[in-house]
Amino acid sequence: MTDQVSYEVTLEDLAALMKRTAGVSVDPDQFARQADAGFDTFGLDSLGLLGIVAELEKRYGLSMPPDAERCKSPAEFLALINSALTTGV
C-alpha cells in the first residue's frame, strides 16, 4: 500500500505567500472575512499572483493549473490550487 501525502494551502499560507513574494501584507481576520473579494482589494496584482503560483510549483514540485494566475479571489484561487494538489494534476 502506498502512502499518499495530502497538501492543502490555507488562507494563512496564502497571506504569508503574498507577503513573501509580493510584499503585500493583509490582516488575517479581514482576509478570512473577505476571501471572496477580489485580489485587488488586498493590493495584489496579476504579477504578484504569478509569483505565488511559481512559489507553489517550486514548493510542491507540481505544475499548477494554467487558470491559477487568472483567479480573481483568494477563495477561487485556493479551491483551484487545493483541487490540483489533491489530484496531483
Query: Is 25 within a domain?
Result: no
Residue with cell 499518499: 4
Q: Is the pLDDT of residue 5 over 90?
A: no
**CA distance between the termini of the chain:** 21
Query: Is 9 within a domain?
Result: no
Per DSSP, 10 falls in state -
The parent domain of residue 43 ranges over 14-20+31-87
pLDDT band for 7, please (50, 70, 90 cuts): confident
Query: Is 8 within a domain?
Result: no
Cα–Cα dist 88/84, whole Å = 6
Q: Does the pTM of the predicted model rise above 0.85?
A: yes
Domain count of the chain? 1
